[in-house]
Amino acid sequence: MRKKSLIFILLLGCLIKAFPQQDPIYSQFMTNPFLINPALAGTYPYYQIMLNSRVQWVNIPDAPMTNIISMYGPTVKQPMGLGGFIMYDVYGATSVTQLKLSYAYNYAISEDLKLSMGLGLGLKQFKISGDMTIAEPDNTYYPGYAYSKLYPDASWGLYAYSAVYHAGFAITNLFGNKVEYGYVDSLKNLSHLKQNFYLHGGYKYNVTRELAIEPTIVFKKSAATPIQMDLDVRAWYGKRQWDRTKLWGGVTYRTGDAICILLGIIYQRKIEFGYSYDIGINKLRGFDAGSHEIMIGFKFNDIKEY
């Protein structure tokens, strides 16, 4: 029994270390960067609701699954933005539930260039399912009991943007909490939540009145891990008018991990749908059937002029 429990703990540790940034992966980061950078709140003249769902490493048992609902937008009279999201991330016997609320202040540097600074505050609950643990002769584990812990969480971001280009910097896991499970001695001090640093930017180039190319790049870094880069190129097709339907598609290269195929549509600026499929280029290639991610967005009417 003790050997089986040790294997369980080692597997759990591998899962934690398998995510060097300790944040969920988003292949469609460019469609909802607010999930990482709270400074995005208030940078659009309308509120929007976004649903993101990701299934990682299909065909591998207990692989990560992430579901998120977010909402953000501007205040009517002040150069500010408000938002928040709820996330549920599960992998194997462990899960993370996160609630975060964000505030951002937007400042006009020039007629075309604006700067936003944002802060996100919330809670994270880490949980181990008791149904997936093995009871010891000394009752170290209790089958059926869920071991959980709640921690405060914070993120900070800076975002500069214009009509055609944007750049941002964000830090998540500001508090660097130590993940502990106080009910079970064998599971104490599993890991620290390291600060994760994101540097991102993009540019939209109008080739014709109906065709545009948009490259986006994201650098991700946390303590004692190499820098990971996501390089994305999307092509847009549709009339430039804000209320016209537009199609988009592209490809993303994530260093050391995957190549992602992207497809999407924005219907009359009200409803947006996106899909991505990750083709693994890491050591798991050959064992999994890729990763799937979908995004559905609902955009409300403008409530202020920009």
pLDDT at 186 exceeding the cut of 70: no
In a domain, 305, yes or no: no
User: What's the whole-number average pLDDT of the chain?
Assistant: 84
For 253, residues 6+ apart whose C-beta sits below 8 A from its C-beta are 229, 230, 231, 232, 259, 260
Residue range 202-212, pLDDT digits in tens: 999 999 989 99
In a domain, 98, yes or no: yes
Q: Domain of 191? A: 2-299
To the nearest whole percent, how much of the chain has pLDDT over 90? Answer: 58
CATH number of the domain encompassing residue 145: 2.40.160.40
In a domain, 216, yes or no: yes
Residue 1: per-residue pLDDT: 40
Residue range 131-168, pLDDT digits in tens: 555 444 444 555 566 678 889 999 999 999 998 999 99
Which residues lie across from 87 on neighbouring strands? 68, 98
For 24, residues 6+ apart whose C-beta sits below 8 A from its C-beta are 54, 64, 66, 68, 87, 89
Residues 89-116, mean pLDDT to the nearest whole number: 92
Residue 130: per-residue pLDDT: 62
Full DSSP string of 261-277: EEEEEEETTTEEEEEEE
Give how far Cα 149 sits from Cα of 83, 95, 126, 177, 186, Å: 25, 11, 5, 11, 15
- Cβ-contact 42, 82 below 8 angstroms: yes
In a domain, 306, yes or no: no
Distance from the Cα of residue 155 to its chain's centroid: 12
Residue 22: per-residue pLDDT: 66
Residues 268-275, mean pLDDT to the nearest whole number: 92
In a domain, 294, yes or no: yes
Taking the C-alpha atoms of residue 230 and residue 256, their distance in angstroms, rounded to an integer, is 10
In a domain, 19, yes or no: yes
- Cβ-contact 202, 217 below 8 angstroms: yes
**Total of domains in the chain:** 1
* Residue 292 CB neighbours (<10 A): 15
Give how far Cα 88 sits from Cα of 63, 67, 96, 168, Å: 14, 5, 6, 25
Which residues lie across from 167 on neighbouring strands? 160, 201
pLDDT at 187 exceeding the cut of 60: no
- Lowest-pLDDT choice from 25-34, 48-57, 89-98, 296-305: 89-98
In a domain, 219, yes or no: yes
Query: pLDDT confidence of 93, banded at 50, 70, 90?
Result: confident
Angle at 202 between CA 55 and CA 159, to 5 degrees: 90
Residue 185: per-residue pLDDT: 47
pLDDT at 78 exceeding the cut of 80: yes
Taking the C-alpha atoms of residue 92 and residue 126, their distance in angstroms, rounded to an integer, is 13
pLDDT at 257 exceeding the cut of 70: yes
Query: pLDDT confidence of 222, banded at 50, 70, 90?
Result: confident
In a domain, 304, yes or no: no
Full DSSP string of 208-250: SSSEEEEEEEEEEEETTS--EEEEEEEEEES-SSTTS-EEEEE
Instruction: Provide the whole-model pTM.
Output: 0.85
Residues 8-17, mean pLDDT to the nearest whole number: 41
Residues 229-252, mean pLDDT to the nearest whole number: 88
Residue 132: per-residue pLDDT: 52
